[in-house]
Structure 1
Amino acid sequence: MREAMRRLAAAKWKGLFAALFFGGMAAVGHEPFGLYTVSIVAFALGLGLVLDAPSWKRAGVLGWMVGTGFFAVQWSWLVNPFLVDIKAHGWMAPFAVILLAGGMALYWGAASALAALVRPALRWVALPIALGLAEYVRAWAFTGFSWGGPGLIWIDTPVAQIAAWIGAYGLGWVTLFFAALIYVAIYSRWLRVGVVAAGVALAGFGFLADQRPLPPTTENVLRLVQPNAAQHLKWEPDWVMTFFERATALSSAPAEGREPDLVVWPETSIPALQGQAPLLEERAFRSAAPAPLVAGIQRREGSTYRNSIVYYDAPGEPAWIYDKHHLVPFGEFVPFGNQLAKVGIRGLAQQAGYGFEEGDGPVIHQLPGTLGKALPLICYEAIFPRDIRGAKGRADMILQLTNDAWFGTFSGPQQHLVHARFRAIEFGLPLARAANTGISAMIDAKGNVTAALPLNEAGFLDAALPAPLPPTVYAQIGDLPFIVALSALFAGLLAFARRKSVDPVAAPL
Structure 2
Amino acid sequence: MTHPVQDSGAAPAGGRGRGLLAALLAGGTSVLAFAPFGIFPLAVLSLAVLAGLAARQTRARAGFALGFAWGLGAFLAGVSWLYVALNRYGGMPMPLAALAILLFCAYLALFPAAVGALFVRFGRGGAWRRALLFAGLWMGSELLRGWLFTGFPWLAAGYSQTPPSPLAGFFPVLGVYGVGGLVAFLAALVALTRWRSARPAAEALAAILVLSGAGFGLGRIAWTSPVGEPLEVVLIQTNIEQSLKWRPELLSDWLESNARLVRENPADLVVLPETTLPLLADRLPDGYLEELAAPVAARGGDVVFGVFLRDARGAIYNAALSLGASPSQSYAKQHLVPFGEYSPPLFGWFYDLVDIPMSDQTRGAPDQPPLRLGAQRVAINICYEDLFGRELIRSLPEATLMLNLSNLAWYGDSFAQPQHLQIARVRAMETGRPMLRSTNTGMTALVQPDGRVAEVLPAFMQGVLSVSVQGYEGLTPYARWGDFAALLLGVLALAVAGRLRRDGHARRGI
Same fold (TM over 0.5): yes
Q: 1:224 aligns with which of 213, 218, 235?
A: 235
Q: 2:168 aligns with which of 139, 160, 170?
A: 160
Residue 318 (structure 2) pairs with residue 307 (structure 1): yes
- Structure 2 vs 1, CA of residues 401 and 7 (structure 1 numbering), >3 Å: closer, same or farther? same
Partner of 1:110: 114
Bigger Cα displacement from structure 2, 120-129 vs 24-33: 120-129
Q: Counterparts of 1:288 and 1:103 in 2: how far apart (Å)?
A: 47
Cα offset, 1:459, TM superposition: 1.5
Partner of 1:397: 401
Cα shift readout 1:153-189 (whole Å, capped 9, x = no counterpart): 1213143122011111100000011011111124554
Equivalent position SS for 1:330: coil
Cα offset, 1:499, TM superposition: 9.5
Q: 1:185 aligns with which of 185, 193, 202?
A: 193
Equivalent position SS for 1:152: helix
Letter in 2 for 1:232: S
Q: Counterparts of 1:303 and 1:250 in 2: how far apart (Å)?
A: 31
Q: 1:150 aligns with which of 148, 157, 175?
A: 157
User: For the Cα contact (< 8 Å) 1:8–1:49, is it kept in 2?
Assistant: no
Cα offset, 1:476, TM superposition: 1.0
Equivalent position SS for 2:144: helix
Q: Counterparts of 1:453 and 1:339 in 2: how far apart (Å)?
A: 38
Bigger Cα displacement from structure 2, 296-305 vs 133-142: 296-305
Partner of 2:268: 261
Partner of 2:450: 446
Q: Counterparts of 2:123 and 2:425 in 1: how far apart (Å)?
A: 39
Q: Counterparts of 2:471 and 2:144 in 1: how far apart (Å)?
A: 33
Partner of 1:141: 148
User: For the Cα contact (< 8 Å) 2:408–2:417, is it kept in 1?
Assistant: yes
Q: Counterparts of 2:149 and 2:43 in 1: how far apart (Å)?
A: 28
Cα offset, 1:92, TM superposition: 4.0
Q: Counterparts of 2:158 and 2:13 in 1: how far apart (Å)?
A: 26
Residue 283 (structure 2) pairs with residue 276 (structure 1): yes
Letter in 2 for 1:363: Q
- Structure 2 vs 1, CA of residues 232 and 10 (structure 1 numbering), >3 Å: closer, same or farther? same
Cα offset, 1:9, TM superposition: 9.7
Q: What are the residue-to-residue correspondences of 1:76-155 with 2, within 5 Å?
A: 76-85=80-89, 87-88=91-92, 90-121=94-125, 122-155=129-162
Equivalent position SS for 2:183: helix
Q: Counterparts of 1:449 and 1:392 in 2: how far apart (Å)?
A: 22
Cα offset, 1:275, TM superposition: 2.1
Cα shift readout 1:342-378 (whole Å, capped 9, x = no counterpart): x714574534xxx1111112522233332x2111101
Partner of 2:221: 212
Partner of 1:344: 352
Q: Counterparts of 2:393 and 2:13 in 1: how far apart (Å)?
A: 41
Equivalent position SS for 1:180: helix
Cα offset, 1:253, TM superposition: 1.5
Give the gaps of 5 or more residues in structure 1: none
Partner of 2:390: 386
User: For the Cα contact (< 8 Å) 2:406–2:437, is it kept in 1?
Assistant: yes
Cα offset, 1:36, TM superposition: 1.8
Residue 257 (structure 2) pairs with residue 246 (structure 1): yes
Q: What are the residue-to-residue correspondences of 1:302-381 with 2, within 5 Å?
A: 302-313=313-324, 319-336=328-345, 339-340=348-349, 344-345=352-353, 348-351=356-359, 355-370=360-375, 372-381=376-385
Equivalent position SS for 2:414: coil
Equivalent position SS for 1:390: helix
- Structure 2 vs 1, CA of residues 34 and 313 (structure 1 numbering), >3 Å: closer, same or farther? same
User: For the Cα contact (< 8 Å) 1:84–1:231, is it kept in 2?
Assistant: no
RMSD: 2.9
Q: Counterparts of 1:56 and 1:10 in 2: how far apart (Å)?
A: 19
Q: Counterparts of 1:115 and 1:4 in 2: how far apart (Å)?
A: 13
Cα shift readout 1:239-284 (whole Å, capped 9, x = no counterpart): 3332332222221215xxxx62111110001233122224332222
Q: Counterparts of 1:444 and 1:499 in 2: how far apart (Å)?
A: 47
Q: 1:61 aligns with which of 61, 65, 70?
A: 65
Cα offset, 1:467, TM superposition: 3.4
Cα offset, 1:99, TM superposition: 1.8
% of aligned pairs identical? 28
User: For the Cα contact (< 8 Å) 2:178–2:485, is it kept in 1?
Assistant: no
Give the gaps of 5 or more residues in structure 2: none
Bigger Cα displacement from structure 2, 217-226 vs 25-34: 217-226
- Structure 2 vs 1, CA of residues 119 and 430 (structure 1 numbering), >3 Å: closer, same or farther? closer
Q: Counterparts of 1:101 and 1:328 in 2: how far apart (Å)?
A: 16
Cα offset, 1:140, TM superposition: 0.7
Residue 428 (structure 2) pairs with residue 420 (structure 1): no
Cα offset, 1:428, TM superposition: 0.2
Cα offset, 1:466, TM superposition: 2.8
- Structure 2 vs 1, CA of residues 117 and 197 (structure 1 numbering), >3 Å: closer, same or farther? same
Q: Counterparts of 1:8 and 1:436 in 2: how far apart (Å)?
A: 52
Q: Counterparts of 2:418 and 2:267 in 1: how far apart (Å)?
A: 26
User: For the Cα contact (< 8 Å) 2:236–2:438, is it kept in 1?
Assistant: yes
Q: 2:244 aligns with which of 233, 245, 251?
A: 233
Letter in 2 for 1:356: Q
Cα offset, 1:392, TM superposition: 6.2
- Structure 2 vs 1, CA of residues 457 and 53 (structure 1 numbering), >3 Å: closer, same or farther? same
Cα offset, 1:401, TM superposition: 0.6
Letter in 1 for 2:288: L
User: For the Cα contact (< 8 Å) 1:334–1:346, is it kept in 2?
Assistant: no
User: For the Cα contact (< 8 Å) 2:175–2:478, is it kept in 1?
Assistant: yes
Equivalent position SS for 1:311: strand
Cα shift readout 1:193-215 (whole Å, capped 9, x = no counterpart): 13321222233123212323585
Q: Counterparts of 1:126 and 1:247 in 2: how far apart (Å)?
A: 53
